[in-house]
């Protein structure tokens, strides 16, 4: 494992970690969610590593060990330009390998913005509980004329997972931010408005995953995003009874297995079909709805 600080497009230094197997067959860039940090993806990283996927992950600016005002953005472009800088680094260090992005929640929002602004730059996306339409109404009661540096308590904790151990770990994690700025909300509102108006600009292969009982980001976000984007290779799966952090749920191995299956299929469709049985693209699977 290697860790280092890397400069983003405006010089803000981002904390980066990478885990590369002896003979990687592809690279995955993990983009984490609001108020959390890349360290909460150790289990997912290990599962990818075990299947010979190299993994890069970083802390968003203002999160974890990265520089920047805490949980704050001036413009929605900053979040996807940070993703672009890390993606550029991955492609520079491994120019001959496919690169995929896994984005969760706000990380899925960041990945959707990145893919819409830089189509074809990576080989595909896995989006988990991605905030792309805000049907859940995050920040709906927020006054729009507050100073951007006004802060509010992070009240996301109870809804992150159905496993109480994950909720407890989230609450006690010193790198999980305990406050959210109005500026963060304002930038997210602007970014979602842009995504809604430019859905045709997302054209890359994508697997969209969501928990049916996600109380933080409505699964309708993923349903709408799936229906409106221009990707020809797209799949959507909604998991019955799962909350927001589907990669941390009790049945996380099933979810990660679905992501791995999809990634493997992008690399070698024939092998996956022989090994695991056929699956079709452009498929919606609703479990228990």
DSSP β-ladder status, 53-58 and 13-19: antiparallel
Give residue 131's pLDDT band: very low, low, confident or very high (50, 70, 90): very high
Give residue 279's pLDDT band: very low, low, confident or very high (50, 70, 90): very low
Q: Does pLDDT of 286 surpass 70?
A: no
Indicate the number of domains in the chain: 1
Alpha carbon 8 to its chain centroid, in Å, reads: 18
Q: How far apart are CA 266 and CA 47, in angstroms?
A: 18
| pTM for the model | 0.94
What CATH number corresponds to the domain at position 193? Answer: 3.40.50.1820
Q: Does pLDDT of 271 surpass 90?
A: no
pLDDT, mean over the chain: 93
Q: Convert the pLDDT of each residue in 36-59 to its tens digit.
A: 999 999 999 999 999 999 999 999
Q: Are 129 and 104 within 8 A, CB to CB? A: yes
> What would the mean pLDDT of 218-237 be, rounded to a whole number?
98
What pLDDT was estimated at residue 141?
85
Give residue 138's pLDDT band: very low, low, confident or very high (50, 70, 90): confident
What pLDDT was estimated at residue 273?
58
What pLDDT was estimated at residue 287?
38
What pLDDT was estimated at residue 275?
52
Give residue 111's pLDDT band: very low, low, confident or very high (50, 70, 90): very high
Q: Are 40 and 73 within 8 A, CB to CB? A: no
Q: How far apart are CA 85 and CA 57, in angstroms?
A: 12
What pLDDT was estimated at residue 272?
63
- What are the CA-CA distances from residue 143 to residues 73, 138, 148, 149, 182 (Å)? 17, 12, 11, 13, 9
Q: How far apart are CA 212 and CA 121, in angstroms?
A: 31
Q: Does pLDDT of 256 surpass 50?
A: yes
DSSP β-ladder status, 53-58 and 26-31: parallel
Least confident of 152-166, 182-196, 212-226: 152-166
Q: Convert the pLDDT of each residue in 64-99 to its tens digit.
A: 999 999 999 999 999 999 999 999 999 999 999 999
Among residues 31, 122, 44, 120, which one has the least CA distance to residue 79? Answer: 31
Q: By residue range, what is the domain housing residue 148? A: 2-286
- The DSSP symbol for 117 reads H
């Amino acid at each position: 494992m290697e860790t280092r600080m890397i400069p983003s497009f405006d010089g803000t230094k981002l904390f980066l970690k990478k885990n590369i197997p002896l003979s990687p067959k592809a690279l995955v860039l993990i983009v984490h969610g609001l108020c959390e940090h890349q360290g909460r993806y150790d289990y997912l990283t290990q599962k990818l590593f075990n299947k010979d996927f190299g993994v890069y992950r970083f802390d968003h600016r203002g999160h974890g060990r990265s520089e920047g005002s805490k949980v704050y953005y001036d413009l929605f472009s900053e979040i996807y330009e940070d993703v672009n800088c890390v993606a550029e680094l991955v492609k520079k260090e491994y120019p001959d390998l496919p690169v995929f992005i896994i984005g969760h929640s706000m990380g899925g929002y960041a990945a959707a913005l990145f893919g819409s602004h830089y189509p074809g730059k990576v080989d595909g996306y896995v989006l988990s509980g991605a905030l792309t339409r805000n049907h859940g109404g995050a920040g709906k009661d927020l006054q729009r004329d507050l100073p951007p540096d006004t802060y509010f308590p992070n009240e996301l904790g109870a809804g992150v997972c159905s496993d109480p151990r994950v909720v407890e770990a989230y609450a006690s994690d010193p790198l999980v931010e305990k406050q959210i700025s109005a500026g963060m909300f304002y930038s997210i509102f602007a970014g979602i408005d842009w995504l809604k108006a430019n859905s045709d600009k997302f054209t890359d292969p994508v697997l969209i995953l969501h928990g049916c009982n996600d109380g933080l980001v409505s699964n309708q976000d993923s349903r709408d995003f799936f229906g409106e984007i221009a990707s020809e290779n797209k799949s959507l799966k909604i998991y019955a009874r799962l909350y927001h952090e589907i990669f941390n749920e009790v049945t996380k191995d099933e979810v990660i297995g679905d992501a791995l299956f999809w990634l493997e299929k992008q690399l070698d469709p024939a092998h996956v079909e022989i090994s695991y049985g056929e699956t079709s693209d452009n498929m919606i699977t609703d479990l228990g709805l």
